Amino acid sequence: MYILAIDTSADETAAAITSGRKILSYISYTQILQHREWGGIVPSIAKRAHEERIDFVVAEVCRKAARYIKPQGGELLKKIDYIAVTHGPGLAIALEVGIKKAKELAIKYEKKLISVNHMEGHIYSCFVQNSRGKPAGEFQFPYLALLLSGGHSEIVLFEDHLRYKKLGETRDDAAGEAIDKAARLLGFGYPGGPAIEKLAKEAGDKDDYKFPRPMIGTNTLEFSFSGLKTAFYYFFKSLPDEEKTKKVRELASSFQQAVLAVVLAKMVLAVEQTGVKNIVVGGGVSANHRLRSQLRALAKKVNGRIFFPPYPFLTGDNAAMIGVAAYYKAQANVFADLNLLDRIPRLSFA
């Protein structure tokens, strides 16, 4: 089964051709440099960049897949079984570009269309394989899925293929968003996660400032990072300019420690409440090495297994994870109604 997957959910114009869990070809055009000067994604710029690149990205991913799939009459897309596309959540006017292209190709080549929830894709990102089927390993349900990105912080019970139960989510800001805002306040550009992690490491992952840990003592799996972000803002503004400069590493480290402490506490609580010991972690924040170390220790303590996206590009928005999630939807005969795809969903999981 060959699937062409498209993702334009934010600032990456991405396409992949997958077979089962394997990536046969992949290409992504990033817009980070175009948004960096604004400190975040500008919707109109994102849409225009997607429109300018989508045809090239699709053509190039097909060209690269020709080493695995012999084109039919010179057109590789004739050999594709299904077209898959991210259908939300995400930036609506960016999503529309990918959806429009996927519908156009599905109609032209008479293929069924598969819509994939973006967060669903992040769950499956932990199980993506390269063209040689590595890393190997079978699914061992159930899993606790921790999804942390610029727009989402969620804990989901992954019961079986296509079966999810949301256990908790952020009430306001997401972890990634809070980290980006802290980085911007400290004078670093977008995206802020890598800068904060680097500074924290240079500071020895200290926690000198002891910023608040919102909702850490509650018996709920929900998150809240708005208060932490606000506390950090006012504390930073109150500092003398000299300390802002000299203590930038310690400030970044303390902020990261606060965010990760909340995440770890919620995952400990999730394991206790559900009894599920196997964990998958997806989304941009899953690239954080300090977070990975802490979660590995948790999994070891409870005799569970933990899975992260196996390749760095899979932590961010990408089309490969969409193709793999679509594979299981195709097996279950879950296809999209072309007429309904014009409505962009707001919720993470329906």
Domains, the chain? 2-135+313-342 (3.30.420.40), 143-309 (3.30.420.40)
Quickly state the pLDDT bin for 35 (edges 50, 70, 90).
Answer: low
Above 70 in pLDDT, residue 344? no
Please write the tens of the pLDDT for every residue from 147-185. 999 889 999 999 999 999 999 999 999 999 999 999 999
In this structure, how many other beta carbons lie within 10 angstroms of the beta carbon of residue 341?
20
**Mean per-residue pLDDT for 228-247?**
95
DSSP bridge pairs for 280: 145, 307
Q: Between residues 339 and 259, which one has the greater pLDDT?
A: 259
Please write the tens of the pLDDT for every residue from 268-286. 999 999 999 999 999 999 9
Q: Taking each helix axis from N to C terminus, what angle separates 248-274 and 289-301, rounded to the nearest 10 degrees?
A: 30
**Average pLDDT of the chain, as a whole number:** 93
One-letter amino acid for residue 225 of the chain: F
Alpha helices in the chain (DSSP H): 32-36, 43-65, 92-108, 118-124, 175-185, 193-202, 226-238, 241-246, 248-274, 289-301, 320-331
Quickly state the pLDDT bin for 347 (edges 50, 70, 90).
Answer: very low
Quickly state the pLDDT bin for 341 (edges 50, 70, 90).
Answer: low
